[in-house]
């Protein structure tokens, strides 16, 4: 594989892997059996399929073909090497500077506690377990910052997408593994952004794009703590790159990439409920493709609705108190 194709494929891999993970993790969580063995056993084939569909070269292309100038797969070796070096350096720096927000005061600690419960128990909601306090008592209060007392159970705040991703780190390395997922996801964002820059501006600009994002204060800040913006950014950038690749291709390969693009963008809703407003333009773009009689538009819209529908299904079944809290801002989005 030449340097250009390596860059084009490596920059899509983070989003495809997150899509595959969420695709198997959410059904297991809804069934109350989100445990390491079934999750990993299902993830391996799901990831293989997602990578195979998303990373295939255009129909008719072979390893000996010369990449077309200006496309991501035409990147010179120095550009690909620079992007990978910047990504690794960013990962190392952020891992060294990683925060340890565990006690709930801000969103990152809320996600850590949410992920810790999922990693250890694999189901929602959280039972009250009044026996641990000597039985029920009128003085007991089970609500706390980032946790709602709902009926006879405790429901974590926020959507389950980010905790599902963090739980993998919890299985591998406990609390430290959960915390280190933030630098890893941040590095994935830097890599994915380089891929989008290579596609939209040119492959020689990919290192500059990666470096500029890596040096921005927001990225330096959020990738040191477990903020949900991280997987949302990775899905957004990867989804846009997939949509770009699907637009270049015709036939079933392009349709399947459009499906994956829509799915990646739609699953942002599973990570952040305000992702609904971010994906609305994608629905309009899919409608434009349909109007132009491009079959990829139907596939993109289908993937988008499937991903967003999965997020809404999780929200209304497992995170309903959180959605009730956001009722005033959520209803207009749903109406649109």
Residue 255 domain-assigned (yes or no): no
Task: Give CA–CA dist 45/17, Å, rounded.
Answer: 11
Residue 309 domain-assigned (yes or no): no
- How many structural domains is the chain composed of? 1
Residue 302 domain-assigned (yes or no): no
Whole domain around residue 228: which residue ranges?
Answer: 3-250
* Cα-based distances in Å from 331 to 228, 274, 335: 22, 11, 6
Residue 124 domain-assigned (yes or no): yes
Residue 69 domain-assigned (yes or no): yes
Residue 277 domain-assigned (yes or no): no
* pLDDT tens-place values along the chain, 336 residues long: 687 788 989 999 999 999 999 999 999 999 999 999 999 999 999 999 999 999 987 665 555 455 554 566 677 888 899 999 999 999 999 999 998 888 888 899 999 999 999 999 999 998 887 777 777 777 777 788 889 988 888 999 899 999 999 999 999 999 999 999 999 999 999 999 999 999 999 899 999 999 999 999 999 999 999 999 999 999 999 999 999 999 888 788 889 999 999 999 999 999 999 888 888 889 888 888 888 888 888 999 999 999 999 999 999 999 999 988 888 788 777 776
Residue 234 domain-assigned (yes or no): yes
Cα torsion angle, 99, 101, 106, 107, sign:
positive
Residue 322 domain-assigned (yes or no): no
Reference 229, options 293, 176, 289, 182; nearest CA is 182
For residue 60, give both structure tokens. 């008719």
């Amino acid at each position: 594989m030449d340097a250009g194709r390596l860059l084009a494929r490596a920059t899509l891999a983070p989003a495809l892997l997150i899509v595959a993970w969420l695709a198997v993790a959410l059904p297991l969580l809804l069934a109350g059996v989100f445990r390491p063995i079934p999750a990993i056993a299902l993830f391996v084939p799901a990831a293989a399929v997602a990578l195979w569909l998303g990373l295939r070269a255009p129909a008719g292309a072979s390893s000996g073909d010369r990449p077309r100038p200006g496309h991501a797969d035409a990147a010179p070796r120095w550009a690909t090497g620079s992007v990978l070096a910047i990504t690794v350096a960013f990962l190392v720096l952020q891992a060294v500077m990683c925060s340890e927000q565990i006690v709930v005061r801000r969103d990152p600690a809320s996600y850590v506690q949410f992920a810790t419960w999922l990693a250890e128990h694999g189901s929602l909601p959280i039972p009250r377990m009044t026996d641990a306090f000597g039985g029920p008592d009128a003085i007991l209060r089970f609500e706390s910052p980032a946790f709602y007392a709902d009926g006879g159970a405790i429901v974590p705040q926020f959507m389950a997408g980010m905790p599902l991703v963090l739980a993998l780190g919890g299985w591998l390395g406990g609390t430290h593994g959960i915390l280190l997922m933030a630098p890893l996801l941040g590095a994935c964002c830097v890599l994915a952004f380089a891929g989008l820059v290579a596609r939209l501006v040119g492959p020689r600009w990919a290192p500059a794009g990666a470096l500029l994002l890596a040096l921005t204060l927001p990225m330096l800040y959020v990738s040191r703590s477990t903020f949900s913006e991280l997987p949302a950014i990775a899905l957004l950038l990867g989804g846009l790159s997939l949509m770009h690749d699907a637009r270049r291709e015709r036939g079933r390969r392009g349709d399947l990439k459009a499906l994956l693009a829509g799915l990646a963008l739609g699953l942002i809703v599973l990570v952040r409920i305000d992702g609904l407003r971010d994906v609305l333009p994608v629905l309009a773009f899919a409608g434009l493709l349909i109007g132009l009689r491009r079959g990829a538009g139907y596939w993109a819209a289908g993937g988008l609705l499937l991903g967003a529908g999965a997020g809404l299904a999780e929200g209304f079944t497992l995170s309903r108190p959180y959605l009730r809290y956001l009722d005033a801002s959520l209803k207009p989005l749903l109406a649109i």
